[in-house]
Amino acid sequence: MSSDLAGKRALVTGSTSGLGLAMATALAGAGADVMLNGLGEAAAIEATRAGLEKKTGRRILFDGADMTRPKEIAAMVERTETEFGGLDILVNNAGIQFTAKVEDFPPERWDAILAINLTAVFHGCRAAVPGMKERGWGRIVNTASAHGLVASVEKSAYVAAKHGVVGLTKVVALETAEHGITCNSICPGWVRTAIVEQQIEARAKAKGVPIEEEARVLVGEKSPSRTFVTPEQIAALCLFLCSDAASQITGAAMTMDGGWTAQ
């Protein structure tokens, strides 16, 4: 990783594991101090935080803000600005999933998915943008999905939320375009995160087939490349979007999906 982000301050939600941790690691490796956020056992989170700090030599902190609570999101942004002296990069990555046909979809699951996958993105942007405008520089990267551009059955809440993220990204991009700030969304295809792993395991169990066999079937259903996108590939795209080279990319929905949405 280059040191293009030396001295920058970043906040990555949903970053104690998986895709979020990969992006946090890339940003720290490029020179940024990083505030982690996410779920997990306290000891495991501390081990992750300390390990990343030792590996990168950057200041790595953790905030356990609940992404369903707007006041906690705002407080986390404020704490990041206080601890680091500012917030230059916001990565809204926290997300959850649930699948069911629309008539069977539990309303409480709909509310939770919209709250974490979409509304939390709004609250993060709302809290971070004023400071970015004041400093005249900022990067906002929102984790959307191929499902922010196309739909699949039994994912009404997730698809609605991710479409919302893509639209919100465009609005924030327009409103900040003259302030040295960019706002983009990344739309991954199948990444073998914990959320996707749960889907694979459920499908394999229902069919009575090995998990790896069902993993190949799952990725092949959508992706012409028949290959999972890796967290490291998404992290590299995030890093590019935060660089000066991407200063004129804003409001974009960047796909990395093995050809899924080209069909």
Establish whether 158 is a catalytic residue: yes
What dihedral do alpha carbons 236, 239, 240, 243 form, nearest 10°?
-160
Confidence of residue 194 (pLDDT cuts 50, 70, 90): confident
Percentage of residues in the chain having pLDDT higher than 90: 96
Residue 38 has φ and ψ, to the nearest 5°, of 155, -170
Structure tokens at 176: 């900040």
Note the pTM of the prediction, 2 decimals.
0.95
CATH architecture of the domain covering 9-189+230-256: 3-Layer(aba) Sandwich (3.40)
Confidence of residue 199 (pLDDT cuts 50, 70, 90): confident
Gap between the Cα atoms of 20 and 86, Å rounded: 21
Which residues share a beta bridge with 139?
89, 182
Q: Is there a contact between 62 and 46 (Cβ–Cβ < 8 Å)?
A: yes
Q: What was the pLDDT predicted at 1?
A: 42
Gap between the Cα atoms of 25 and 232, Å rounded: 9
Q: What was the pLDDT predicted at 195?
A: 80
Mean pLDDT of the chain: 96
Is residue 191 scored above 90 in pLDDT? Answer: yes
Structure tokens at 161: 């939320």
- Residue-wise pLDDT tens digits, 157-183: 999 999 999 999 999 999 999 999 999
Per-residue pLDDT, averaged over 90-110, amounts to 97
Gap between the Cα atoms of 177 and 56, Å rounded: 31
Annotated catalytic residue within 62, 98, 110, 158 = 158
Gap between the Cα atoms of 91 and 108, Å rounded: 26
Is residue 94 scored above 60 in pLDDT? Answer: yes
Gap between the Cα atoms of 194 and 41, Å rounded: 15
- Residue-wise pLDDT tens digits, 4-47: 899 999 999 999 999 999 999 999 999 999 999 999 999 999 99
Structure tokens at 244: 């000066």
Q: How many CA atoms lie within 13 A of 145 on its CB side?
A: 28
Is residue 2 scored above 70 in pLDDT? Answer: no
- Residue-wise pLDDT tens digits, 117-147: 999 999 999 999 999 999 999 999 999 999 9
